[in-house]
């Protein structure tokens, strides 16, 4: 290994002069050099760029080396094309020693880019690109610790401004790998997870506020993968997180950031029915009412079967939440609870509240349809009229598939089932009911529908 390292150092020195430059070179006031040096620098820079743009990397090597050694501050393109040149050489090289030398050169190029053009691009961005090229060139031999350390510096420096954005995912993969290889890294993985999820959430909010829906969607996709990996890793189960935070809540009950982290953490793994979750939510709510804190208090009210208070906090959580889709989901949680209790009227109200926050929430309409169908035999005194209730249910299902294509299959399946329960033509005739006329569905439903017969 030492022989390999020494060989690499010697080759780098021969090819790129490591840090050698012409005496008196002034990268700030004379980035191209002086006199004839300046002329040669411009010529080599032009030759290098022309060849590199044409992907003639072998031809670009000599002029690139001259620029890199003698006038590195002349153009950022030197540091953009440099890695491409040596990645090409690396790909075609069969000698393992030389391949490693090219990797060391690429790393050196990024380090010098920070020196000469560190103000043009964020340090975190340059580190991320350095990491990506390292991973590409090393393949399966890439060291997790190297990837983790570089991306840790990049992500935690840029936070919600990280670019390229997929660095969040690569960083968390590296952190997860460290934990899976050594369980003593579990606490660090948990810390990394919550830091990154916080950065991504803020980045999503930034993207949404600027109307950049494409990046918001991409960031949400990255987050989904990060959360799934965390939940399935074993580091983030309810028992582990409860134990991890057990001694942190009480001494930090005035620390809004820590309490938010606890509430988010426990909620993300379905651990929202524990005393620790409720305690953290209450302290957080006292400091500053927030969607997560109100949600925690709503869950505690449900545990205590104090449904009126639960409704109050669910509604408050939805109002405080900035993301309308999340607000709708809070209401749908409440709707599901009331549905299981067969409290159909309150379940429908919660589903309708969800639609206020997200008018295209197909599942809300489907739930209302299912509520209607579940009570079909109890609406009219004449059980023969239960088919009319199914007409009202089908109305909701048709609405569901019209606003939300993702639920179309489910809606169509229920439409077929409920249509089979419509009144038959003979019974309708005997009761003086005609297809196509508008009828009122009484009771808790209290809606009009158009008669359809089978």
Strand partners, 453: 423
pLDDT at site 22: 60
Q: Are 167 and 160 in contact (CB under 8 A)?
A: no
Residue in 256, 335, 264, 276 with CA at minimum distance from that of residue 302: 335
**Which range (44-58, 136-150, 293-307) has the least confidence?**
293-307
Q: How much is the pTM?
A: 0.59
Q: pLDDT per residue over 400-414, tens digit each?
A: 999 999 999 999 999
HSE-up of residue 111 (Cα within 13 Å, Cβ side): 9
Whole-number Cα distances in Å, 446 to 265, 348, 372, 376, 441 = 42, 12, 11, 13, 5
> Which residues are CB-contacts of 208 (< 8 A; sequence separation ≥ 6)?
216
> Which of 80-94, 104-118, 220-234, 396-410 is least confident?
220-234
Give the orientation angle of helix 291-303 with respect to helix 275-287, to 10 degrees: 140
What is the C-alpha to C-alpha distance for residues 124 and 137, in angstroms, rounded to an integer?
20
- What average pLDDT does this structure show over 229-254? 88
Q: Is the pLDDT at 9 greater than 80, yes or no?
A: no
How do residues 347-376 score in pLDDT, each as one tens digit? 999 999 999 999 999 999 999 999 999 999
| pLDDT at residue 332 is higher than 90 | yes
Q: Which residue has the tokens 């409704």?
A: 311
For the stretch 140-177, pLDDT in tens is 999 999 999 999 999 999 999 999 999 999 999 999 99
Q: Which of the 8 DSSP states describes residue 20?
A: -
pLDDT band at 112 (very low <50, low <70, confident <90, very high): very high
Does 15 have pLDDT greater than 70? Answer: no
Six-digit token string for 242: 């409860």
**Partners of residue 450 on adjacent β-strands:** 438
Number of Cβ atoms within 10 Å of the Cβ of 96:
9
Confidence of residue 26 (pLDDT cuts 50, 70, 90): confident
- What is the structure's pLDDT at 6? 35
284: number of Cβ within 10 Å: 25
333 is written with which tokens?
A: 């949680």
Element (H, E) at 414: helix 408-419
Task: Look at strands 438-441 and 447-450 and give their pairing.
Answer: antiparallel
Residue 218 and residue 164: Cα distance in Å, rounded? 12
Give percent above pLDDT 90 in the chain: 74
What pLDDT does 213 receive? Answer: 92
201-224 pLDDT, tens digit per residue, is 899 999 999 999 999 999 999 998
CA dist., res. 329 & res. 268, Å (int): 14
Report the chain's mean pLDDT, rounded to a whole number.
Answer: 90
Say how far residue 75 (Cα) sits from the centre of its chain.
Answer: 36
Residue 16 above 60 pLDDT? no
User: Does residue 12 carry a pLDDT above 70?
Assistant: no
């Amino acid at each position: 290994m030492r022989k390999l390292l020494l060989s690499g150092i010697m080759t780098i020195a021969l090819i790129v002069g490591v840090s050698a430059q012409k005496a008196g070179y002034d990268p700030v006031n004379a980035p191209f050099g002086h006199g004839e040096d300046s002329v040669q620098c411009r010529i080599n820079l032009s030759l290098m760029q022309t060849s590199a743009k044409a992907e003639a990397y072998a031809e670009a090597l000599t002029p690139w080396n001259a620029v890199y050694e003698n006038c590195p501050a002349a153009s950022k393109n030197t540091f953009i094309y440099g890695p491409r040149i040596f990645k090409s050489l690396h790909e075609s090289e069969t000698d393992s020693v030389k391949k490693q030398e090219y990797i060391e050169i690429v790393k050196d190029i990024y380090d010098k880019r920070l020196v000469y053009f560190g103000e043009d691009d964020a340090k975190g961005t340059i580190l991320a690109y350095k990491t990506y090229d390292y991973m590409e060139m090393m393949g399966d031999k890439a060291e997790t610790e190297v990837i983790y350390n570089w991306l840790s510096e990049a992500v935690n420096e840029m936070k919600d401004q990280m670019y390229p954005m997929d660095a969040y995912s690569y960083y968390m993969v590296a952190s997860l790998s460290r934990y899976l290889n050594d369980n003593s890294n579990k606490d660090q993985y948990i810390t990394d997870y919550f830091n990154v999820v916080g950065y991504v959430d803020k980045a999503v909010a930034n993207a949404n506020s600027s109307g950049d829906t494409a990046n918001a969607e991409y960031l949400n996709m990255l987050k989904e993968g990060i959360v799934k990996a965390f939940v399935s890793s074993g580091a983030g189960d309810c028992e582990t997180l409860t134990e991890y935070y057990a001694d942190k809540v009480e001494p930090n009950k005035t620390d809004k950031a820590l309490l938010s982290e606890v509430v988010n953490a426990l909620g993300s793994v379905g651990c929202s029915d524990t005393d620790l979750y409720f305690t953290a939510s209450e302290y957080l709510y006292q400091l500053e009412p927030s969607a997560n804190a109100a949600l925690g208090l709503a869950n505690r009210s449900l545990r205590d079967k104090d449904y009126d208070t639960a409704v109050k906090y669910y509604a408050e959580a939805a109002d405080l939440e900035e993301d309308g889709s999340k607000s709708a989901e809070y209401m749908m949680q409440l709707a599901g609870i009331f549905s299981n209790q067969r409290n159909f009227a309150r379940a429908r109200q919660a589903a309708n509240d969800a639609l206020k926050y997200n008018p295209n929430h197909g599942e809300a309409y489907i739930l209302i349809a299912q509520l209607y169908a579940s009570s079909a035999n109890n609406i009219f005194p004449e059980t023969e009229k239960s088919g009319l209730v199914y007409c009202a249910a089908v109305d909701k299902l048709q609405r569901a598939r019209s606003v939300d294509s993702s639920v179309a299959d489910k809606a169509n399946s229920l439409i077929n089932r409920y249509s089979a329960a419509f009144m038959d033509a003979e019974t309708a005739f005997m009761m003086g009911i005609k297809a196509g006329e508008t009828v009122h569905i009484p009771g808790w439903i209290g809606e009009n529908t158009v008669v359809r017969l089978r």
